[in-house]
Amino acid sequence: MSCSICRLPFIPGPYSSDPLPEHFPPKGIMSPTVDTYFTRSVGMGLPEIQTVTATFDYCSNNFFCCYDGHRVANLMWESPFGFGNTVFMTHTSCANMFFHVLGAKDKETNESMTLIAQAMGVLGRPLAGQDPGRVRNVRYEAVGEQIDLRPFWSPGSQPGGDVFNWKALSQSKYNFLVVRPFIFPRLLDVAPSRTAHFRNVEFNNQDKFTTLPLDILQILLPYLPMVSYLSLVSTCRFLRLHALTTFQPNARRLVLDIPWSLPLPADLSLMSPSMAAKVPDREKTPHTADWLLYLSHIHCTNSMRTRRWIWALAESIKDTYLAQLATSPVMEPATHEYKVLHDALERAFELAGMEPTPAGECETQVVAVAY
């Protein structure tokens, strides 16, 4: 069973009663914390998920299970009767990124629940068969780093029984994917050692650029894209020193312009308290911290590389949804699809203890997402 966003598999969790051995990765492939991450999932879409979204554990044998403290509810993933469908299931971090990209940052509100349900209705249920879990019309292999995971999947002996070759992945060029994509580099103050070799250095600036007043340079810097800025501050010791000191707010601006570079509020819930205390904060972390070093680190770690790829996939799925929105029967009030979706949505509001959305207000306007 694969995540409908990243197409990586799930691992059977603690509520699995009789999991298939082939659904577990070989020992040594991943740490226990990474193993736990791959057992958890978020399902979305009406009417399969009665509350629009819900958290599950993978149980192998074509089932996900949801435990509320009193009972376990099972959800069949792949339809076994030739319908060619699966349920839209994702890893928790993939879901957080997708909700944010979609514009449903707080999925507990009427507006966000409506938007998610509408997106799932427009996209349709993911594929079964040879490409189980894949969202229709999304070109996964053309997104970001153009990663093709299809060679690592092989058919199973039953619906939902497809097997992923973890060992082959760990030995391939895609082995960086065996991580949790919410592990961020630490953002610290500028270490004294980073500026030590600039002490007692006299700068004999004679070119037209470095002889400009610093306030003029700071006006010009925001017009430079990231690659140009990094090339510029690498040209001489004078600019390098200011990149580590005076120009750190500009490095911060470059970080904030990258949507996947900082943790989302939902990411913090996946972290331990000690881990959450060390990650950068958009508002609280000082502008004078070593944002330049952080800008480098987010392009170096496996976790952030994977996060960038997943974010691009979430964007691609959103683009597919928007491209199909205008012609989808889900958006036509006279259609059966529209009625089924909105009847299920009203029931979801009731289950969540929310006031039903007034008639005529269920349609969600498409707005630009502010990262």
**pLDDT at residue 36 above 50?**
yes
Q: How far apart are CA 351 and CA 338, in angstroms?
A: 20
Q: What is the pLDDT of residue 277?
A: 85
**pLDDT at residue 218 above 70?**
yes
Q: How far apart are CA 255 and CA 273, in angstroms?
A: 24
Virtual torsion, Cα 85, 107, 63, 134, nearest 10 deg: 30
Q: What is the pLDDT of residue 202?
A: 76
Q: Residue 367 is which amino acid? A: V
> Among 254, 270, 253, 252, which residue's Cα sits nearest to residue 307?
270
Residue range 163-203, pLDDT digits in tens = 999 999 999 999 999 999 999 999 989 999 998 888 777 77
> Among 204, 48, 59, which residue's Cα sits nearest to residue 121?
48
Give the contacts of 272 (CB within 8 A, at least 6 positions apart): none
Cα–Cα distances (Å) from 226 to 49, 241, 257, in that order, read 42, 18, 10
Average pLDDT over residues 226-234: 95
Give the contacts of 16 (CB within 8 A, at least 6 positions apart): 57, 58, 59, 60, 61, 65
Task: Measure CA 341 to chain center.
Answer: 26
Residue pair 130/155 in contact by the 8 Å Cβ criterion: yes
Residue pair 308/260 in contact by the 8 Å Cβ criterion: yes
Label the pairing between strands 53-58 and 63-67: antiparallel
In eight-state DSSP terms, residue 365 is P
Q: What is the pLDDT of residue 1?
A: 87
Q: How far apart are CA 329 and CA 312, in angstroms?
A: 27
**pLDDT at residue 7 above 70?**
yes
- Per the listing, tokens 């509810």 go with 73
Give the contacts of 174 (CB within 8 A, at least 6 positions apart): 147, 149
Phi, psi of 35 (to 5 degrees): -55, -45
Residue range 84-113, pLDDT digits in tens = 799 999 999 999 999 999 999 887 888 999
Give the contacts of 204 (CB within 8 A, at least 6 positions apart): none
Confidence grade of residue 68 (pLDDT, cut at 50, 70, 90)? low
What six digits make up the tokens of 350? 């009731």
**pLDDT at residue 215 above 60?**
yes
